[in-house]
Structure 1
Amino acid sequence: MAGLSLQCGDCGVLLKSVEEAQQHAELTSHSNFSESTEAVLNLVCTACGKPCRSKTESDLHTKRTGHTEFADKTLEAAKPISLEAPKVDAEAEDGGDASASKSEEMVVPEVNKNILEELEAMGFPTAQATRALFYSGNSSLEAAVNWVVEHENDPEIDQMPLVPKDTKVEAPKPSLTPEQLKAKQQELRERARKKKEEEEKITEREREKERIRIGKELLEAKRIEEENERKRILALRKAEKEEEKRAREKIRQKLEEDKAERRRRLGLPPEDPSTAKPPAPVVEEKKLSLPVRPASKAEQMRECLRSLKSNHKEDDAKVKRAFQTLLTYVGNVVKSPDEEKFRKIRLSNQTFQDRVGALRGGIEFLELCGFEKIEGGEFLFLPRNKVDRAVLNSAGSELDSAIKNPFFGVL
């Protein structure tokens, strides 16, 4: 297959012709060239029509303009490369006027090699970087980049510039006086400051809008959470009432069955439901009129344990472990009332919290046994002079019943 380009063996760049290889050699001092069957890329921007010779050049064009679509026309423009050196002017071969030939000789202009290397490192092609440096006055990297940005749509942007051999590159002379230049710089700084202030104001307004939006969302989320919690509590109360109703119905049925069983054992006929006497309202009135007896210590303990089991009925194992732990505390005090370590409990102790403290009703039960909070609520302490064996024995009986009775807390 015929060669479609020349490849520099030193840097790997592809060149379209012998002339470009010569120019590349003059600029870079590279001399190792070989024929390649790979054609130089011809990526044409579909938005503005700019041709790009490499992927790096197309990426740079995309970064500057935002254009991302390129048509690959490499194969359309590819043709075998001619390896013949360009012919020398006939006039020069015939020994014409040497000074005239010399004055018409076109060469690549001399540019600042350091800036050229920086431009190439940034991804600019050699020809484009050389043209930018030459026409920007070979003054600075910033001026060259600005020139490329302003002339990126020029048709000859990727062609190596050629100038007469004796042409010297001169830096552009400033057209403003020092005072005018200083005033212009001050104006530009002031304009930049105002622009920055305006951007900061816009950013602050956007931040304030975002804070307000987030605040509204948090309030709405909190309202929804409270509403869901309220519905959950109502549903829980309703379920508890229904459970209590079912438990009472089971007890009533059990009592009826026991009553029927006793009548059967005594040889009495089954009771006719129609003859059953309804409870007299007078009796109910008498019951209501009886004086209410204050609950004993044992009843208070039983109610406390029943409440603890009801509050944590979803975890029977945790409730049973709490009852057993409380029974251990009470039993230790009864066995060794003079041992202070059995009468003092640190509330922050992790084991105590896991077994009793974290359950609603656990600490209340210990307080019914005589324990008191001391030292700012850090400890539960049962003074020696307040150790009441009768109360502790009653507490042990209630705990034992709560552990062994499977129906405890159901009624």
Structure 2
Amino acid sequence: MAGFSLKCGDCGTLLKSVEEAQEHAELTKHANFVESTEAVLNLVCSSCGKPCRSKTETDLHTKRTGHIEFVDKTAEAAKPISLDAPKPKDDTELEEPSDGGSIQNEEMVVPEVNQQLLSELEEMGFPKERAIRALHFSGNVSLEAAANWIVENENDPDIDKMLLVPSSSSKTPEPKKQSLTPEEIKLKQQELKERARKKKEEDEKRMEREREKERIRVGRELLEAKRVEEENERKRTLALRKAEKEEEKRAREKIRQKLEEDKAERRRRLGLPAEESSVAKPSSVPPAKEEKASFLPVRPATKAEQMRECLRTLKQTHKDEEAKVKTAFSTLLTFAKNVATNPDEEKFRKIRLSNANFQDRVGKLKGGIEFLELCGFEKVEGGEFLFLAPHKLDLAVLHSAGSELNSAINNPFFGVL
């Protein structure tokens, strides 16, 4: 298949002819070219007809002019490339230069530009490389033309690279005579500086507006997040207060029930008849038997009731030693909690009775050891240890023990009556 372009093996640029390849080699010092079947792009602007050879050129053209529509005429312009060297127009072009060098190997140098205009551009803040390019391509005509070229080509990727041209074309024609007076030139310089200053101020104002919008947006988000957090906190507070009120109501009801149970228990022990709420006994029972039955419990005491009675006995027996009673209750609660939480740990199910701390906290107080025995502990090894065997471990009993101990610790009326 015939080739439609020459491709630079160093940078990948597509070139239409051998002449373009030679110019590319002179400018870049690239020497590796191969024939390619890929045609050079020919994207023609629909508005002004400017041809562009790459997507980069179309983007730059759009940025400079605002034109966005391009027609792809690559297929129409594609022609097989001729690899023959270009023929000279006349015999004089075949003559070698007087210095013995060849046209292709001509030395690349920095172009000569108007030094006065170059100094003025550098004083305006433009880099030397950019100023030389602007003066060279604008023909060293005027400061305004060079400045306009910089504005139009400021996005070129090589604008700040030093321009190199063949030595034969390095000398540019003398600049045309300035038609402006020195005062007009100074005014034009001031106008350019003012234009640059205004553009900078406009950019700064635009950035400040964007930053202000961002600050407002972030502020609104923070306020909304704070409002949501406060609303959630208010709901949590209301729920906590409601739970506290319900807990207080349950505690009062529990105290009332305790008082009624204690009152009924005292009446039972004193042999007094039950209150009206009590169920009447059958009339067929003989009076003697009825009187004897009044001293017996109405129903068998549950394990929880036995524990409650044991704790009540402990508190009433040591009512003048409130600190010891609280310590005993807390210690018993710790024993029950440790066993319920770690049922497989033997160290929590075995207590040495001779331990001084245990004796001081629980062992010497009436009802302490009895409460542990109700939890399932038994005396082993000649009464030296209290041990809760795994097969006798009942979590329901331990939970009941914990509930009774919590009630005894938190109920200010426990054991008073």
Whether TM-score is above 0.5 comes out as no
Query: Normalising to structure 2: TM-score of the pair?
Result: 0.42
**CA radius of gyration, larger in:** 2
